[in-house]
Amino acid sequence: MNKKIGLKEAISIGIGGMVGGGIFAVLGLAVSLAKGGTPVAFLFAGILALITAYSYVKLSQTYPDRGGTVKFINQGFGKSVFSGGVNNLLWISYIIMLSLYASAFGSYAPNLFEITGDKTLDFHIYASAIIVLATAINYYSIAVVGKIESYAVIIKLIILISFIFIGAYGLIGNPNLSQLAMSQWETPVKLFAGGMVIFVAYEGFELIANAAPDIVNPKQNIPRAYYYSVVFVIILYIIIALVTVGSLPFENIAKAEDYVLAEAAKPMLGQVGFSVITVAALISTFSAINASLYGGSRVNFEIAEDDELPHYFLGQFHNQPIGLMITAVTTLILVNVLELESISTAGSIGFLLIFGMVNFVGYKLSSATGSNKIIPLMGFVLCMVATVVLINQQYDDNKVGIFVSIGILMLCFIIEWLYKSSERSANH
């Protein structure tokens, strides 16, 4: 007997998925790319998320399935090397998101408690330890993961909304307010590219798709869950960006790039504010790691169930899908090898391509889902354009991120092609 999910729970799945570690990890990066136009960069990324949410609404209502995105891709493209490759990319993108959250945890934690006194070493110790802890909790009990999530969503929202109110009050008479003037904005292309690098901050609303079969009154509640959660998060991010850029000089933001939200609380609340936001960041990133580990291992299981990965992945290791351990180990490697910007770029490219494909499926199946053809088509085109703009912009500043992304993409399709070929020869 499955517990039914009401509108409130469905919205909190969406908000909890988006306001995970994303905003804490990429806010500083956003400001370094878009300068005074950071709120606009968040708006660009948010509009793209909202258009994509339309495709998700229609597909979730027509094909409710716990496999969520994996099932939509297979519905649109059949079970082929292409759909398998895209689904593998989804799994790897979850691993990249996990590394992003762990990286944010590793950047914030040493501000509260230094272990070795060497920031780089502390970063690696904290980032690795939190993955190990979350993996242990996932093995111990899935119910605990759900409990942590429901409390963490409330705690992080209370702290972020308080930050907004206190911060907005602190902006009165702040000399840095002039940084928000249009003269301080980057060029429109750079603003758009900045929005796309941080597009990962909106990843997470698609988790509502996995809960779709359990949502009560799906006709009304599925659209509301998607749209309310995405619109709420767009507004939240824009205001956080306004408060941050308006309260700190650009050079301070650059210096504290990896933990800028905590730094932005200092002008109003001093060291106490810095510590409170640091704690919020640690709770948020920890809860995001917890939930994404679970989500990532499920995706892997669904792909194997659909015959797009070896059935070995349907096996279990200590009562959990084997994908959980593989996901955790791969995350540990990535977070200790790659820089934050490379992780963010690879994650954004991954999700832009996946959302592009979901939009394409929304367009392709528009008569079956009863949707307006133009919106998903627009979403598909925008996701593709965004990917090109992002690759182009990052190619000059962050070649590693681009090569990692292209390598991952090729790997996803090569693995799928090899698996399908071996299946075919085994059946002959």
Using the Cα atoms of residue 130, residue 198, residue 151 and residue 115 in order, give the sign of their dihedral.
positive
Question: Among the ranges 1-5, 126-130, 146-150, 289-293, which has the highest mean pLDDT value?
Answer: 126-130
Task: State the residue range of the domain holding 76.
Answer: 7-423
Largest Cα–Cα distance of the chain, in whole Å?
Answer: 76
> Is residue 232 scored above 50 in pLDDT?
yes
Cross-strand partners of 242: none
In a domain, 2, yes or no: no
pLDDT band at 344 (very low <50, low <70, confident <90, very high): confident
Domain contains 29: yes
Centre a 10 Å sphere on the Cβ of residue 379 and count the other Cβ atoms it contains.
26
d(C-alpha 249, C-alpha 178), whole Å: 10
Whether the pLDDT of residue 69 is over 60: the answer is: yes
Specify the pLDDT at position 2: 56
CATH of the domain at 416: 1.20.1740.10
* 299 belongs to a structural domain: yes
Flag whether 428 is in a domain: no
DSSP state letter for 216: S
User: Span 63-90, mean pLDDT?
Assistant: 95
Residue with tokens 């000399």: 175
Rounded Cα gap, residues 265 and 100, in angstroms: 22
347, 203 contact by CB (below 8 A): yes
Residue 46 lies in a domain: yes
- Is pLDDT at 297 greater than 80 in this prediction? yes
Among 159-168, 203-212, 354-363, name the most confident range.
354-363
Report yes or no on 185 lying in a domain.
yes
What's the token pair of residue 365?
A: 């199946």
119: tokens are: 């920031």
The total number of structural domains in the chain stands at 1
Phi, psi (degrees; rounded to nearest 5) at 20: -90, -120
The verdict on residue 390 lying in a domain is yes
Task: Flag whether the pTM goes above 0.85.
Answer: yes
Residue 207 in any domain: the answer is yes
